[in-house]
Amino acid sequence: MTPETARRKMTGTWSAHSPLTDVPAAVDTELAAFFRARHADYDDIDPVVADAVGALELFVTGGGKRLRPVFAWAGLRAALEGGGGSLTAPTGPGDVLRAVSSLEFIQACALIHDDIIDQSDTRRGRPTTHRRFSALHSERGWTGDPARYGESQAILVGDLSFSWADDMFADSGVDAAALTRARQPWRKMRTEVIAGQMLDIALENSGSEDPGAALKVDVYKTAAYTVERPLHLGAALGDADARTVSLLRKVGREIGVAFQLEDDHLGVFGDPAVTGKESGDDLRSGKRTWLLMCALDRADRSDPAAASRLRTGIGAVETDAEIDELRQIIVDSGAAEQNSARVRELTSDAVDTLRSCHLASPFVDELVALAEQLTERRS
C-alpha cells in the first residue's frame, strides 16, 4: 500500500463526528501527504528550492499542538451537532479534515516571520528558519552576509507557506458551495493575523504603556486566528446557522484571549523545564504584554519607585537576580493576580456560554475540556 493510498484509506473512514483529540494525528498524516506531493513537484527545480521545501516541511511537521485545525474541526462538529448544518455530497469528512489542516501553513508563516522580527535563535528546540539558512550560507562558503541571506530566504519560505495554505485549502476536495461559505472567515483570518503583527510591532516601538493596546494585539495576533476564526471557518464549511456562528465567535475570542494572557504569564513566571523557553523571556525581550502594562499602571499608583525600576528594567535585564526583582514587582503590584483572574473570568464566561447553549452536550463537553486545558496549561 502506497502512502497516498494509506492516507485516503484513513480519511475515507474519518467520521464527521471524530473526537477533537484525534485531530492532531490525522492532521499530521494530511501534512505528510501534502509535502510528499510538493517534493515531487518542485525539488527538481533546483537544490535551493529543495532546501526551502525541506525547511518548511521541518517547521510544519516538526512540532506544534495543531490547535487551529482542532478548533476548525470543532466548528464543523458544532454545525453538525445542533448548529443547523450539514455536509453535502460530494464533500466528505476527509475533505474537511484536509481543508482545516491547511491552517498549519498560516501558522508556520506567522511564526517564521515572527522569528525574523524578534531575531529569535531557536524555535521548538531547533534553530529558527532564518538561522538555519544563515548556517547553510556559511557552510557553503558563499559570498555576502550570511545573516541577510538567512533572513531573505526565511521571508520567502514564510511567503511560500502562506501560498500553500491557499493551495491545500482550495484543493482539499471540499465542494464549491462550502468553499464559498468559508471564503469570508478565511480571508478575514489571514488579514487579521497580519494586522495583529503590525500592531505588535508598533506597540513595541512606540513605548506605549496602554493595556488596551496590548489587549488589541492579543485579540488580533492570537485570539482571532488561533480560536475565533478557525471555529468560524469550520462552522462555515459545515453550513452552520447564524446563531451558531455568533456563539462560536464569542467563545472563540474569549478562549483565545485567555490563552494568550496565560502565555504571557508563562513568559514571566513559567518553568523553563516545562515551557521550553528561557526563564523570564518576556522580561529580557521587553515584550509589552497586558500583564506588564497592568503592572506598570498599578505600580505607578502604589509604588512609583518600583514602577520606575520595572519601566527601566523591561528589555534591559540580563541576570537571574534582576529578573527575580522584576517578577517580585509584578507580583507586589497585584498585576499577576489580575492577569490570572482575567484568564479565569474569560474561561468561565466561555464555559458558561457553552454549557447553556443549543449544541449537543457530548460535543460541548469536548470543547469545554479543550478550553480549560488551554487556559490552565503550564507550557
| Total domain count, the chain | 1
pLDDT for the residue numbered 280: 86
The answer to whether 101 and 69 have CB atoms below 8 angstroms apart is: yes
**CB atoms near residue 301 (< 10 Å):** 9
Taken in order 326, 327, 329, 335, the sign of the CA dihedral is positive
**What is the number of other CB atoms lying within 10 angstroms of the CB of residue 177?**
11
pLDDT value at position 118? 87
Query: For residue 4, what pLDDT is reported?
Result: 44
In angstroms, the Cα distances linking 98 to 32, 57, 214 are: 11, 16, 34
CB of 86 closer than 8 Å to CB of 245: no
Q: Is residue 209 part of a domain?
A: no
**Which grid cell sits at 235?**
462552522
Question: CA 341 to CA 294: how far, in whole Å?
Answer: 13
Predicted confidence at residue 328, as pLDDT, reads 98
Q: Is residue 148 part of a domain?
A: yes
In a domain, 135, yes or no: yes
Give the span between the Cα atoms of 113 and 349, in whole angstroms. 33
β-bridge mates for residue 126, sequence order = 123
- Quick: pLDDT tens for 288-328: 999 999 999 999 999 999 999 999 999 999 899 999 999 99
Range of the domain at 138: 1-64+103-171
Q: What is the pLDDT of residues 149-198, one digit of tens each?
A: 999 999 999 999 999 999 999 999 999 999 999 999 999 999 999 999 99
Can you tell me the distance from the alpha carbon of 255 to that of 95, in angstroms, rounded to the nearest whole number?
27
Report if residue 145 sits inside a domain. Answer: yes
User: Looking at the domain assignment, is residue 44 inside a domain?
Assistant: yes
Residues of the chain where predicted confidence (pLDDT) is lower than 70? 1-12, 275-277, 378-379
Phi and psi for 269 in degrees, rounded to 5? Answer: -115, -5
For residue 216, tell me if it sits in a domain: no
Residue 119: its H or E element: none
Helices in the chain by DSSP H: which ranges? 3-12, 23-42, 47-61, 67-80, 93-101, 103-118, 129-139, 146-170, 176-206, 211-217, 229-237, 242-269, 272-275, 281-285, 290-302, 304-313, 320-333, 335-355, 361-375
Phi, psi of 258 (to 5 degrees): -60, -40
CA angle 328, 332, 336 (to 5 degrees): 85
The pLDDT of residue 378 is: 65
Pairing of strands 122-123, 126-127: antiparallel
Residue with cell 495576533: 221
Place of cell 522580561: 283
What is residue 198's predicted lDDT score, i.e. its pLDDT?
Answer: 97
pLDDT for residue 379: 57
Residue 377 has what pLDDT? 73
Cell of residue 295, nine digits? 503592572
pLDDT of residue 272: 77
